Structure 1
Amino acid sequence: MTAIYEINTWPWLAELGQESLADVPGEVWDELIGFDAVWLMGVWERSPAGLAIAAGNAGLQKDFHAALPDLSPADIVGSPYCVRNYVVDQNLGGPGALREARAQLKSRGLKLILDYVPNHVAPDHPAITEHPDWFINGTPRDLADDPGRWFAAGDRVIARGKDPYFPPWPDVAQLNAFHPGLRAATRDALRRIAEQCDGVRVDMAMLVFNDIFAGTWGDRAGERPAEEFWPSILAQLPDDFLLIAEAYWDTEFALQQQGFDLCYDKRLYDRLAHEDAAAVRGHLTAGLDYQNKLLRFIENHDEPRAATALPGPRGRAAAVAIATLPGSTLWHDGQFEGRRVKLPVFLGRFPDEPVDEGLRDFYDRLVVFKDAGQWQLLDTSDVLAWTWQGAGSRHLIVINFSDEQVWTRVRLPWSSTGKQWRLTDLLDGRVFDRDGADLDNGGLVVGLPAWGVHVLSVKS
Structure 2
Amino acid sequence: MKEAQQKHLWWQESVIYQIYPRSFQDSNGDGVGDLRGIISRLNYLQWLGIDAIWISPIYPSPMADFGYDISDYTGVHPLFGTLDDFDELLQEVHARGMKLILDLVPNHTSDQHPWFLESRSSRDNPKRDWYLWYDAKEDGSVPNNWLSVFGGSAWEWDEKTQQYYYHAFLKEQPDLNWRNPEVQQAMLDVMRFWLDKGVDGFRVDVMWHMIKDKQLRDNPPNPNYTPNMATYEQLVPAYSTDQPEVHQIVRMMRQVLDSYHERMMIGEIYLPIDKLMTYYGTDNSGAHLPFNFLLLSLPWDAAQIASTIGQYEGALPTGGWPNWVLGNHDQPRITSRVGKSQARVAAMLLLTLRGTPTIYYGDEIGMRDVAIPPEEVQDPQGLNMPDLYLSRDPSRTPMQWNDQANGGFSESKPWLRLPDNYRRLNVQAQEQDPYSMLSLYRKLLKLRHEEPALNIGTYVPVPPEGQVLSFIRQHESQRFLIVLNLSHRPVFFKPRNLSCRGRIAIATYPEREGEAFNNSTSLAGDEGLVIRLEEA
Which TM bucket (shorter chain)?
0.7 to 0.9
**Pairwise CA distance, 1:343:** 2.5
Contact 2:503-2:531 at 8 Å conserved across structures: no
TM-score (norm 1): 0.78
Change (3 A) 1:82 1:387: same
State the alpha-carbon separation in 1 of the partners of residues 215 and 90 from structure 2.
35
Change (3 A) 1:458 1:225: closer
**Pairwise CA distance, 1:325:** 0.3
**Map of 1:190 onto structure 2:** 191
Decide which of 278, 287, 290 is 1:254's aligned counterpart.
278
**Map of 2:255 onto structure 1:** 235
Decide which of 15, 21, 25 is 1:9's aligned counterpart.
21
Q: What code does the residue aligned with 1:322 have?
A: L
Within 5 Å, give how 1:169-248 maps onto structure 2: 169-196=170-197, 197-209=199-211, 228-237=248-257, 238-248=260-270
**Pairwise CA distance, 1:120:** 0.8
Change (3 A) 1:307 1:408: closer
Q: What code does the residue aligned with 2:183 have?
A: L
**Map of 1:352 onto structure 2:** 418
**Pairwise CA distance, 1:6:** 0.9
Query: Matched residue of 2:41: which SS?
Result: helix
Within 5 Å, give how 1:47-446 maps onto structure 2: 47=62, 51=63, 54=64, 79-86=66-73, 87-128=75-116, 129=118, 131-139=127-135, 145=141, 149-152=155-158, 155=161, 157-162=163-168, 168-196=169-197, 197-209=199-211, 228-237=248-257, 238-250=260-272, 251-257=275-281, 258-271=285-298, 274-285=299-310, 286-287=313-314, 289=316, 293-337=321-365, 338-341=367-370, 342-343=392-393, 349-353=415-419, 354=422, 355-356=424-425, 357=430, 358-370=436-448, 371-373=451-453, 374-382=457-465, 383-390=468-475, 393-410=478-495, 421-425=502-506, 427=508, 428-430=510-512, 431-434=514-517, 439=518, 444-446=519-521
**Map of 2:231 onto structure 1:** none
TM-score (norm 2): 0.68
| Higher share in strand | 1
**Pairwise CA distance, 1:25:** 7.8
Q: What code does the residue aligned with 1:276 have?
A: D
Query: Matched residue of 1:366: which SS?
Result: helix
**Pairwise CA distance, 1:316:** 2.1
State the alpha-carbon separation in 2 of the partners of residues 201 and 328 from structure 1.
14
State the alpha-carbon separation in 1 of the partners of residues 320 and 131 from structure 2.
36
Q: Deviations over 1:205-248 (max 9, x none)?
A: 11125669966799999x99697321123212225111000111
**Pairwise CA distance, 1:359:** 3.0
State the alpha-carbon separation in 2 of the partners of residues 212 and 275 from structure 1.
40
Contact 2:157-2:165 at 8 Å conserved across structures: yes
The percent of aligned pairs where both chains have the same amino acid is 21
Contact 2:334-2:363 at 8 Å conserved across structures: yes
Query: Matched residue of 2:515: which SS?
Result: strand
Q: How many residues align?
A: 412
Contact 1:209-1:228 at 8 Å conserved across structures: no
**Map of 1:71 onto structure 2:** none
Change (3 A) 1:224 1:445: closer
Q: What code does the residue aligned with 1:249 have?
A: L
**Pairwise CA distance, 1:80:** 1.1
State the alpha-carbon separation in 2 of the partners of residues 375 and 16 from structure 1.
46
State the alpha-carbon separation in 1 of the partners of residues 263 and 248 from structure 2.
20
Change (3 A) 1:181 1:220: farther
State the alpha-carbon separation in 1 of the partners of residues 321 and 186 from structure 2.
27
Q: Deviations over 1:146-205 (max 9, x none)?
A: 69621438536452421xxxxx42321111222222222222222223223111100111
State the alpha-carbon separation in 1 of the partners of residues 16 and 475 from structure 2.
23
Change (3 A) 1:415 1:457: closer
State the alpha-carbon separation in 2 of the partners of residues 289 and 366 from structure 1.
25
Query: Matched residue of 1:6: which SS?
Result: strand
Contact 1:5-1:37 at 8 Å conserved across structures: yes
Q: What code does the residue aligned with 1:12 have?
A: F
Contact 1:410-1:446 at 8 Å conserved across structures: no
Query: Matched residue of 2:71: which SS?
Result: strand
State the alpha-carbon separation in 1 of the partners of residues 25 and 323 from structure 2.
26
**Map of 2:529 onto structure 1:** 454
Change (3 A) 1:412 1:336: farther
Q: Structure 2: which 5+ residue stretches go unaligned?
A: 1-12, 120-126, 143-151, 220-237, 371-391, 399-413, 431-435
State the alpha-carbon separation in 1 of the partners of residues 214 and 481 from structure 2.
41
State the alpha-carbon separation in 2 of the partners of residues 29 and 180 from structure 1.
40
